[in-house]
Structure 1
Amino acid sequence: MIAFIGSVFSPWYKWSGRREPQNHCCLNVVTSGLNGRFTMTDRGRSALRQSPDRLQIGPSSVTWTGKELVIEVNEWGAPPMVTPVRGRVVLTPRAVTRTEVLLTPDAAHLWRPFAPIADIEVSLTQGHRWRGHGYFDANFGTRALEADFAFWTWGRYPLRDRAMCFYDATLRDGRHFDLAVEITPDGEVRETTAPPRTRFQRNPWAVRRETRADRGTKPRPHLSLLEAPFYSRALVETTIDGERTLGMHEALDLVRFRQPLLKPMLAVRVPRRALWP
């Protein structure tokens, strides 16, 4: 689930020249399984309301109560499954960090791991009701992702006494950005040494995938969550410091994303609703 102001993967935002991010906002919700749905309605400025503790995008909202992040979902699935996706998600951080990471030297792109260790309760239509462990972060940028990056992978893996986050990126100028941090339940964030990058099975669209794994071990995809010609999101099993763990992983091929032919394909899955009463 991602709340966007300036929907970076929206073809409508790209075609607008990205001049006004507030005119291209959305709440992207993806659920999996037989009743899985995908929502990513590109909404106009009139749908956006912001305050220090609340972000409202059309009929959906994200609210910080001081202890919990409460997401009220009221969306419609994208074609071909055009049905309502409604409900509530409540994320309770074990701690909130104050860490901010520059993803490019000029700070055009930032990453904020607000709550890498959290408890979550999900209740959505189509039968998605469960409790488990969750994660909350944010990215900020003043340029398009594809203007600065060629490829990146990201992963968050829970361990017995901490969580590990890996950010590995190749910039368009050939430089590399490699980050490994460990986060304790009390919110302490420490940079650490990562095990080697290790490739594993490509996604169904042949997007390259890799993550960190101990030498002599190989990651494997456990559950596919979202697959596209330029993007993969999946639960991935890997080994870190001798501990086998199952975590969230994404791979993003921005060379492919820059291809103009992808934008009309995306428009089918990302409808535009410019006005909101």
Structure 2
Amino acid sequence: MVAKNGYAWWYVDALSDDGRQGITLIAFVGSVFSPYYALARRLGRAADPLDHCALNVALYGEKRKCWAMTERRRGAIRRDAREFVIGPSCIDWDGDALTFRIDEVTCPLPSRLRGTVRVYPSALTAETFALDAAGRHHWRPIAACSRVQVDFQAPTMRWLGGGYFDMNYGEAPLEDDFRGWEWSRAGTRTGTIVSYDTTARGSADSASLALRLDRTGAIDRLALPPRARLPSTGWRIARTAHSDAQSPPTVTRTLEDAPFYARSQVSASLFGESVDLVHESLSLDRFRMPIVQAMLPFRMPRW
């Protein structure tokens, strides 16, 4: 169950084995970045998260990027223990694989986005971690080591790669409790390293959480090397990443550059191993700005 004004999302990312393709999928109940959900909360009533669901699909090719994030109302949503239907798309779990059956339209330029993505976890992790001092926001790294099979008919593409699967859930809007955060995950020879660096609302100091998860699902807490500054994005979103002192991180490519959010592919070194990071920078101070809220419907239509 998701509380009024709350949220849950299931997140998958993957990079192809040849490093040339990438994908990110996020299924939202109570879309945390929805301007419509934010407006419903500002009107002073307890907003229904089931009336603000979306499947975000982002494909990253060498020459082309595709993006879709259409918000759906309660009447287009169906949820049970094994299936989550969001309009014409659905996600289901059969005990062995998480399958996304995608039928969406890209935005802002409309084109068909249709295909199937299957996530095969090497192990499942049940442990959850609070991201804030009050325990209102939680993160569960469900399957940090996964294989992902991508098969799209529109646009045409097929590939396999290493992937990652987690979920977040909370009982309050992110922007109420955080000014922002930086998150990254890196596939290593023995598993996956994940880090969160969060800045609480009303504070200038960051709190860090870093884990190593192996292919059996075992978890170890880590003390990562300090963060190093990366170039800001075109929208002036600040970026930093953990890397060994003798090997400063570098941005391989900026996958998403939005007014309040950036997703990047970063080359770094962790404990002497060269790694590729999937990296995210989130500014919730930016997200709250009226001008940003007015821009969001052009990328996030609602039906």
In structure 2, C-alpha distance between the alignment counterparts of 1:247 and 1:197, rounded to whole Å: 13
Paired-residue identity, %: 36
In structure 2, C-alpha distance between the alignment counterparts of 1:127 and 1:169, rounded to whole Å: 38
Q: What residue identity is the alignment partner of 2:177? A: D
Q: What residue identity is the alignment partner of 2:279? A: H
| Aligned residue in 2 for 1:28 | 56
8 Å CA contact retained: 1:181, 1:191 = yes
Q: What residue identity is the alignment partner of 2:134? A: D
Cα drift, residue 182 of structure 1: 0.2
| Aligned residue in 1 for 2:301 | 271
What root-mean-square deviation, in Å, do the aligned CA atoms of Structure 1 and Structure 2 show?
1.1
Alignment of structure 1 residues 74-113 onto 2, 5 Å: 74-79=103-108, 81-113=109-141
Residue 119 (structure 1) aligned with residue 155 (structure 2) = no
In structure 2, C-alpha distance between the alignment counterparts of 1:84 and 1:193, rounded to whole Å: 44
Cα displacement string for residues 169-202 of structure 1 (whole angstroms, at most 9, x for unaligned residues) = 1111214320010001110011111111111111
Q: TM-score, normalised by structure 1?
A: 0.95
| Aligned residue in 2 for 1:46 | 75
| Aligned residue in 1 for 2:19 | none
Q: What residue identity is the alignment partner of 2:294? A: P
Secondary structure, counterpart of 1:114 in structure 2: strand
Residue 246 (structure 1) aligned with residue 276 (structure 2) = yes
In structure 1, C-alpha distance between the alignment counterparts of 2:250 and 2:158, rounded to whole Å: 26
Q: What residue identity is the alignment partner of 2:190? A: D
Q: What residue identity is the alignment partner of 2:29? A: I
Cα drift, residue 223 of structure 1: 2.2
In structure 2, C-alpha distance between the alignment counterparts of 1:109 and 1:211, rounded to whole Å: 23
Residue 153 (structure 1) aligned with residue 177 (structure 2) = no
Match of 2:88 among 53, 59, 63: 59
Q: TM-score, normalised by structure 2?
A: 0.87
In structure 2, C-alpha distance between the alignment counterparts of 1:121 and 1:247, rounded to whole Å: 20
Point out the more displaced range, 129-138 or 216-225: 216-225
The ranges of structure 1 where at least 4 consecutive aligned residues each deviate by more than 6 angstroms after the TM superposition are none
Cα drift, residue 207 of structure 1: 0.4
Residue 222 (structure 1) aligned with residue 252 (structure 2) = yes
Q: What residue identity is the alignment partner of 2:218? A: E
| Aligned residue in 1 for 2:9 | none
In structure 2, C-alpha distance between the alignment counterparts of 1:71 and 1:169, rounded to whole Å: 29
Match of 1:235 among 265, 283, 288: 265
In structure 1, the gaps of 5 or more residues are none
8 Å CA contact retained: 1:213, 1:219 = yes
Cα drift, residue 70 of structure 1: 0.5
Match of 1:168 among 182, 197, 204: 197
Secondary structure, counterpart of 1:164 in structure 2: strand
Q: What residue identity is the alignment partner of 2:36? A: W
